[in-house]
Amino acid sequence: MASFFPLISEILPMIMPAATHVTRAGDLEPKCPTVEGPVTVRAAIVDKCDRMSATVLTVRPQSETPVHHNSEQAKIGAAVGSPSWTPGHVGIGQVSITNMKLHTPADAIMYTVSGTGRLTVNEGFESELRIHDLGAGDFAFIPAWTEHQVVNGSHVVDLVCVVIHGGPRPVGATLDGWGGDETTPGK
């Protein structure tokens, strides 16, 4: 009987497949023209399945994301569009904050769609910062709990990345600098 349950989890998706969802490029743009912050995060595919989600990160010229890490338990928001790296932190418009614990890894894969920039990471408590150059077509794997920051040093071109997150929605924490405490919304 115990071997029956794993079999159900493999067969059930074939019997009751999930619905396909397409997010159009136009759906990722704001409905009304607004002045946006230096960093925007838009939900592309969020809460559509339990194992992964995707957001589009845009870093304007001469801008950078706050230092951030992807964690398994973090404050997350019901809305995306804040000028900070983490959906759910205070930014443009109303954002509701909730606490949620996920049982899936919070690793992320970032694909650079356009522009050039740098991914700076701190891979340990006493480690030196490592800088990775990014260009269109590059992929970066960011393990859970790894502090990281994306910087666009260009004077003209936006840096646009698609970020694939482990779990149904992005999770993480914005920090007060490298090795810093988690920031609170509105601070």
| For residue 114, pLDDT beyond 60 | yes
- Residue 34 inside a domain? The answer is no
- Domain CATH code at residue 128: 2.60.120.10
Q: Compute the distance between CA of residue 154 and CA of residue 151 in angstroms, rounded to an integer.
A: 9
The pLDDT of residue 71 is 75
The pLDDT of residue 105 is 55
- Residue 57 inside a domain? The answer is yes
Its domain, for residue 137, covers 44-73+103-174
Tell me what percent of the residues of the chain surpass a pLDDT of 70.
67
- Residue 9 inside a domain? The answer is no
Give the tens place of pLDDT for each residue, 8-51: 767 766 676 677 778 777 777 766 656 578 898 888 988 888 88
Q: Compute the distance between CA of residue 85 and CA of residue 74 in angstroms, rounded to an integer.
A: 13
The pLDDT of residue 78 is 38
Q: Compute the distance between CA of residue 7 and CA of residue 21 in angstroms, rounded to an integer.
A: 26
Among 26-40, 122-136, 156-170, where is mean pLDDT lowest? 26-40
pTM of the model: 0.71
The pLDDT of residue 149 is 94
- Residue 149 inside a domain? The answer is yes
Q: Compute the distance between CA of residue 186 and CA of residue 184 in angstroms, rounded to an integer.
A: 6
Which H or E element spans position 15?
Answer: helix 4-15
What tokens does 65 get?
């994301």
- Residue 181 inside a domain? The answer is no
Domains of the chain: total? 1
- Residue 187 inside a domain? The answer is no
Q: Compute the distance between CA of residue 51 and CA of residue 18 in angstroms, rounded to an integer.
A: 13
**3-class SS of residue 56:** strand
Mean pLDDT value across the chain: 76
What tokens does 102 get?
């996920």
